[in-house]
Structure 1
Amino acid sequence: MAKKTKRKPIHLSEERIGVRLPRTLLRQVDVLAAETLCPRSYAIRRLIMRGLEQKESINA
């Protein structure tokens, strides 16, 4: 008999946006999405861009 493999439960963030994010980051994304009244995907993109800008300013 074939052994059933236990499926990993879907992570909360993955269910909603298709990407696994730590809770702290997800909270930041939610706050940004609420403030700017835009979907989560845009908020994630914005956070990433903001992070990259900060990184560049540190390196410069």
Structure 2
Amino acid sequence: MEALRTGDHSGLDSVAEVLRRALAASPAHHPDRAMCLTNLGGALRIRFDRTGRPSTRGPT
């Protein structure tokens, strides 16, 4: 993730949004859904660690 390398955290919201869209596009029982949830959770944790801003919405 570039934000970790450069220290520029402006893209973290975009990353979280893309991952939310991927999750929304995955059917409930799709085998990759767990991976989407894991990646979204990781991105939100990184954003919180770097900015102190919690997620204002849950996963879709």
Could you say which structure has the larger radius of gyration?
A: 1
Q: TM-score, normalised by structure 2?
A: 0.37
Q: TM-score, normalised by structure 1?
A: 0.37
Kindly indicate whether structure 1 or structure 2 has the higher relative contact order, using CA contacts under 8 Å at least 6 residues apart. 2
